[in-house]
Structure 1
Amino acid sequence: MLAFGRIVRVFGNSGTWRRYSVPRIDARRRIALTATRFHGEFEYQDPKSEDEVVNVTFILRDGTKKQVRGKVGDNLMYLSHRYGIELEGACEASLACSTCHVYVDDNYFDKLPEPKEEEDDMLDQAPALRPNSRLGCQIILRKDLDGLTVTLPPITRNFYVDGHVPQPH
């Protein structure tokens, strides 16, 4: 029985119907009706001003370069999805895989914060690991990363289903 501020009828134990008045929920205890974002969701928004723009160059597996415009605070993996770049991200940025593995240009590698232990653990499983390897899902764009170049590795390993490429939500 769930009702707010009205009389309801409930079938009782004795086989008869009973009437109950259900009190209204106090305004302080109302359920929040704001929109929520769930795991893996990412809202694509364009920069509000040129001060927020971070230019990123992706070097694809075939060697071609694709330049994109991100904004301060963007996640590199989700940014790649926005522009149709095949940086998989099977675990949707939960640090449970290494399919968003990238090589960061040496000029920018030292500008990134040290990887967390969880990221290092996932990188240990990445094929074709290099000293400048990072997970794209852990790279958050900042203004000092403007001009960042990342290279996609020749292969990735998806432990879920071989050949399956999850689509961004």
Structure 2
Amino acid sequence: MAYLHQIKKYDMENSWRGASVSLWFNQCPHHCPGCWNEETWERNETLYQDNDQVIQEVKDGLGEGVFQLNTLALLGGDPLSPKNIQDTIYIVKALKEWRPDLNVICWTGFTWEQVSRSKLLKPILEYLDVLVDGRFMIDRKIEGKKYGSDNQRAIDVQNTLSEGKIKIMEDF
């Protein structure tokens, strides 16, 4: 039972190469001052959606064949919030099983170090391609990146896991 503000079936802004389908999760424990998406912070019980229905909507948005999208973006709120993580894993796992080459990008206020050391959060890493980590810091705000402050990093998850050292994606 995911809590989502929106399923955006064609998103050019929050993608990697081309368009994505984007899931905007509800609830964020970080409450970063200056956050551009404050309305997603507090749990809103009216935003409940069945996980299997979310999966089907994402599949419909991604499409198949010649006219398919290849990226799923997870935003919020925080998709890795302890209140969201089990639903996030369920949804992403099913989508990666359906389409193993799907690129999954996740924005979170948690750092790589926090995610990779957490028994609760670490399982999601198996299904992610890019993790944009770290809390937004208004006094370190930057332009021209797909994240908001210079303390945040776009991490190539699968290369980081295989090499055992953080691999930053400079062109993200």
**TM over 0.5: same fold?**
no
Structure number with the bigger relative contact order (C-alpha 8 A, sep ≥ 6) is 1
Please report the TM-score for the alignment, with normalisation by the length of structure 1.
0.25
Specify the structure having the higher radius of gyration (Cα): 1
* Structure with the higher helix share, 1 or 2: 2
